[in-house]
């Protein structure tokens, strides 16, 4: 019997990612907590929710409280943290309601549609002494922690970073009602994939306190043949005093869109998704940049090399499970420890502000109500 503290979760929407998150989290032996799913809210019918719980092989599914209204679950449910994985066009509304019901929140990425909305969420969470965290889960993986804590302090100033997150999500058969193509659901490669590529650029460019990093350029090409100018191939140039970042995304390139969606994340790609070039080394992060399990380093001009020639090194950082659970331990530790904090606030706001600037320069627009605060 585990003597770990129990952390009770509520799921606001039984989304695709919730069907990844909870099986990855529940019953995780390596976790510092015993995570339990105790409440769910869904627009699905009650008859559809129970099979969902069973297919996710959720333990004690019969004891889970099923709410047909997310508002009621937030008002009446008995849980420690709510995981919000509705379409990102609804995150602001759902997070603000959760906070006003004194709930601590893990909200899927991107936290909101723009920085102003998240600033409102942060203000309310702070006022109510709650815990709020954006589920940018990649930051909490072993490889990312190794990069941040061990590698970057050793490699000298970062001079240039290339960060890409592209893979063919959109196929000719995809319905235009899909959240990937429906502007009313916040569709677009920048908000969906760009937050990951920009996170890697942030990890590299802001690992050393060198002043503000600005968006200097942003251009975008839309998904062909889809109404509403859904952004697809995006190119963003970031600049700071002595370093630059080139960030790219696409949800149609490269590769075949024939295989099922999530299988494409397992595709082997020659080129790394991220390349960080510093004065002493080049660090490469392989595809998919959402969950790398190794970091490749080419050392040059430092103690690690023999007579100055480049020397390659690979650091294996295996992930236990899919890996989306690591962040859950971070927020659980804060909530169950009785703290109140906005975990990763600075980083989340930096990325959201970059995406705001990139949208403005590239002319990526959404229906007004999605951006309202």
Binding site for ligand LJPVP2WV (CB under 6 A): 169, 192-193, 290
CB of residue 194 vs ligand LJPVP2WV: minimum separation in angstroms?
Answer: 10
Please give the residues from 274 up to 293 whose contact with ligand NDP meets the rule CB under 6 A: 290
C-alpha 246/C-alpha 355 separation (Å) is 14
Whether the Cβ atoms of residue 33 and residue 329 lie closer than 8 Å to each other: yes
Residue 110: cis peptide before it, omega within 30 degrees of 0: yes
Q: Are strands 65-67 and 281-285 parallel, antiparallel or unpaired?
A: unpaired
Q: Among 85, 189, 278, 282, which residue sits at the site for ligand NDP (rule: CB under 6 A)?
A: 85
Whether the Cβ atoms of residue 40 and residue 64 lie closer than 8 Å to each other: yes
Nearest to 159 by CA among 101, 83, 214, 210: 210
Q: In angstroms, what CA-CA distances link 312 with 58, 308, 321?
A: 43, 12, 28
Asked if 327 is part of the footprint of ligand NDP (rule: CB under 6 A), the reply reads no
C-alpha 297/C-alpha 287 separation (Å) is 15
Q: In angstroms, what CA-CA distances link 6 with 68, 70, 329?
A: 25, 23, 11
Site string for ligand NDP, 63-82 (x = CB under 6 A): -------x------------
C-alpha 315/C-alpha 317 separation (Å) is 6
Site string for ligand NDP, 16-35 (x = CB under 6 A): xx------------------
Stretch of 53-61, 84-92, 305-313, 344-352 contacting ligand NDP, by CB under 6 A: 84-92
Asked if 83 is part of the footprint of ligand NDP (rule: CB under 6 A), the reply reads no
Stretch of 10-18, 24-32, 147-155, 306-314 contacting ligand NDP, by CB under 6 A: 10-18
C-alpha 289/C-alpha 213 separation (Å) is 21
In the complex with ligand LJPVP2WV, the residue whose CB is nearer, 90 or 169, is: 169
Asked if 97 is part of the footprint of ligand NDP (rule: CB under 6 A), the reply reads no
In the complex with ligand LJPVP2WV, the residue whose CB is nearer, 113 or 169, is: 169
Asked if 95 is part of the footprint of ligand NDP (rule: CB under 6 A), the reply reads no
Q: In angstroms, what CA-CA distances link 139 with 32, 198, 231, 355?
A: 18, 12, 25, 18
Whether the Cβ atoms of residue 265 and residue 257 lie closer than 8 Å to each other: no
Q: Among 8, 36, 88, 350, which residue sits at the site for ligand NDP (rule: CB under 6 A)?
A: 88
User: Which class for 225: exposed (0-12), middle (13-18), buried (19 or more C-beta within 10 A)?
Assistant: exposed
Please give the residues from 182 up to 241 whose contact with ligand NDP meets the rule CB under 6 A: 192
Half-sphere exposure of 206 (CA within 13 A, CB side): 15
In the complex with ligand LJPVP2WV, the residue whose CB is nearer, 189 or 218, is: 189
CB of residue 192 vs ligand LJPVP2WV: minimum separation in angstroms?
Answer: 5
Tell me the two tokens of residue 134. 């954006």
In the complex with ligand NDP, the residue whose CB is nearer, 93 or 302, is: 93
Asked if 109 is part of the footprint of ligand NDP (rule: CB under 6 A), the reply reads yes
In the complex with ligand NDP, the residue whose CB is nearer, 108 or 232, is: 108
Asked if 100 is part of the footprint of ligand NDP (rule: CB under 6 A), the reply reads no
Which residues are near ligand NDP by CB under 6 A? 13-17, 42-44, 70, 85-88, 90, 108-109, 135, 137, 179, 192, 290, 324
């Amino acid at each position: 019997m585990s003597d770990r503290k129990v952390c009770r979760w509520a799921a606001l929407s039984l989304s695709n990612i919730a069907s990844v998150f909870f099986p990855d989290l529940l019953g995780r032996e390596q976790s510092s907590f015993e995570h339990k799913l105790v409440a769910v809210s869904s627009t699905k019918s009650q008859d559809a929710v129970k099979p969902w719980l069973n297919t996710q092989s959720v333990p004690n599914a019969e004891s889970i409280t099923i709410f047909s209204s997310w508002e009621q679950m937030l008002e009446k449910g008995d849980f420690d943290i709510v995981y919000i994985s509705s379409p990102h066009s609804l995150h602001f509304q759902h997070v603000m309601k959760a906070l006003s019901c004194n709930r601590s929140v893990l909200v899927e990425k991107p936290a909101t549609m723009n920085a102003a909305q998240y600033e409102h969420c942060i203000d309310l969470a702070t006022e109510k002494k709650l815990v709020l965290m954006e589920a940018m889960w990649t930051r909490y993986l072993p490889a990312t922690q190794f990069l941040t804590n061990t590698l970057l302090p050793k490699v000298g100033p970062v001079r240039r970073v290339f960060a890409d997150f592209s893979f063919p999500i959109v196929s000719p058969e995809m319905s235009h009602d899909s959240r990937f193509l429906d502007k009313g659901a916040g569709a677009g490669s920048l908000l969906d994939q760009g937050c990951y590529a920009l996170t890697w650029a942030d990890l590299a460019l802001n690992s050393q306190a060198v002043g503000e990093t600005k968006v200097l350029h942003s251009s975008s090409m839309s998904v062909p043949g889809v109404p509403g100018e859904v952004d697809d191939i995006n190119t963003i140039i970031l600049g700071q005093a002595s370093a630059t970042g080139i960030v790219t995304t696409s949800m149609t390139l490269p590769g075949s869109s024939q295989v099922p969606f999530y299988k494409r994340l397992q595709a082997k790609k020659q080129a790394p998704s991220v390349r960080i070039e510093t004065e002493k080394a080049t660090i490469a992060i392989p595809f998919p940049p959402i969950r790398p399990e190794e970091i490749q380093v080419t050392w040059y001009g430092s103690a690690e090399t023999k007579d100055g020639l480049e020397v390659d090194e690979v650091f294996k950082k295996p992930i236990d499970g899919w890996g989306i659970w690591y962040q859950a331990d971070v927020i659980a530790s804060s909530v169950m420890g009785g703290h109140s904090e906005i975990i990763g606030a600075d980083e989340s706001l930096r990325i959201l502000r970059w995406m705001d600037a990139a949208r403005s320069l590239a002319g990526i627009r959404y229906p007004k109500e999605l951006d309202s605060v």
